[in-house]
Homo-oligomer: A and B are copies of this chain.
C-alpha cells in the first residue's frame, strides 16, 4: 500500500451504487456492455462493429456477431434515438373507423415498413365538437414526447389543426397533412384533387345536357367541399347559360330547401354533392318528397364510399386512398431523411386525381 503521509485522503470511497454488470440476469435486457465483457473488448468496439462503422479485424467482427447472436442482443432504440436524434418512428393520426382512412393507413404503413420505420398510431375522434381539439392536441403531445421523427395526420377539421400546428412547426418536426389542408400552406400536403374532381363533375353533367345545377355540401367547414364546389363552378363558368345554387347539408330543414329549389320554375336538373354521405342524405330527402333520381334530377356524389345506401346506384368519384397514404409516406421519408425534399426546400403539395364512376343516378337531359 502507498503511504500518503501529507495529503489526508480518506479512502472510504462511497461504495459504488453500480448494479452488477456481468452476464445479464435472465430476462433482463442484454446490453453492449454484456457483449463487450464476454468478448474482452470495450463497448465502443461492439457498438461500432454492430453499427458497421469503421474497419475491424475479421475475427473480432465474427466473435462480436456470434456473441450478440447467442445472447439475442437487441439495440435499445430509446437510447439510440436520444443519441442520434432519429427514432425511425412516425406519428400517424387519422380519423377513426372509416374504410377510406384504413386504406390510407395501409398505404402509409407499407411505405414506412420498407424504410424500416414504424408508426405510432392514433385515431382522432373525427368530431367537430369542442372536446375534439383537446384530444387531438393531447395525441400530438404524446407523439412529440416520444420523439417521433415526424408526423403524418389528417385533422378532424382545419381549425383543430391550426390550434396545435405551431407546436409542431416550432419544434421543426416534419409534418405531412393529409386531405384537410390549412389555407395558408406551411407544411407538406397530400390529398385528392378536389378542384379537378369538381371540374370533371361539371363537364360530365354539361355533356349530358344539364345547364342548371345545385351544389349540396359543407363548404363553410370543409376545405374539400369548398374545393369541389369551386372546381365545379369554375367549369360551369366556361359554358354559357349555366346556373348553380348552393345548399348547406348541415342546415336545418335540408329537405324543405331541396324541395324548394327543385319545385321552382327553371329548377336545377342535376345535383353535385360534396361527398357520398351527403348524396345519400339528399337522395333520402328527395325520395320522401317524391322526386325521382335520375328521372327528375341527376345526382353525383364523391368518394365511392361503400356501405352507403343512396336508393339508386350513385354516380360518384372513386378516390385512391392507398396512393394518398403512400404518397404522404414518401413525402415524409424525404423530409425526415433529408433527401431531395430535405429540410431547406419548399413545401410539397401532391394531389391525387379521383376517377369519375358513372352509375345509375345520372342521365342525359331528354
Q: Name A residues whose Cβ lies closer than 8 Å to a Cβ of B.
A: 6-7, 26-27, 29, 72, 74-79, 81-82, 87, 89, 92, 96-97, 99, 102-103, 106, 109, 113, 116, 118-123, 139, 141-147, 167, 170-172, 306-307
Contacts and interface: CB of A to CB of B under 8 A. Distances in A.
Given A122-B113, A146-B118, A172 B27 contact: yes
A118 B122 contact: yes
Given A109-B122, A109-B123, A306-B307, A87 B96 contact: no
Per assembly, the copies of the chain total: 2
Contact of A147 (B76, B103, B147, B171): B76
A78 B146 contact: yes
Given A74-B144, A170-B27, A121 B123 contact: no
21 contacts: A6-B7, A7-B7, A27-B170, A29-B171, A74-B141, A74-B145, A76-B147, A77-B142, A77-B146, A78-B79, A78-B82, A78-B146, A82-B82, A92-B121, A96-B106, A97-B102, A97-B106, A99-B99, A106-B123, A118-B121, A120-B120
A7 B5 CA distance: 11
Contacts of A143: 118
Given A97-B103, A109-B122, 7 more contacts: A72-B170, A76-B145, A96-B109, A102-B102, A118-B142, A119-B122, A120-B121
A123 B79 CA distance: 25
User: Binding site of A, secondary structure by majority: helix, strand, loop or mixed?
Assistant: mixed
A21 B330 CA distance: 35
Contacts of A307: 306
Contacts of A122: 109, 113, 118-119
Contacts of A77: 142, 145-147
A173 to B, nearest CB: 9
A136 to B, nearest CB: 12
Nearest to A85: B29
A99 B79 CA distance: 37
A29 B7 CA distance: 45
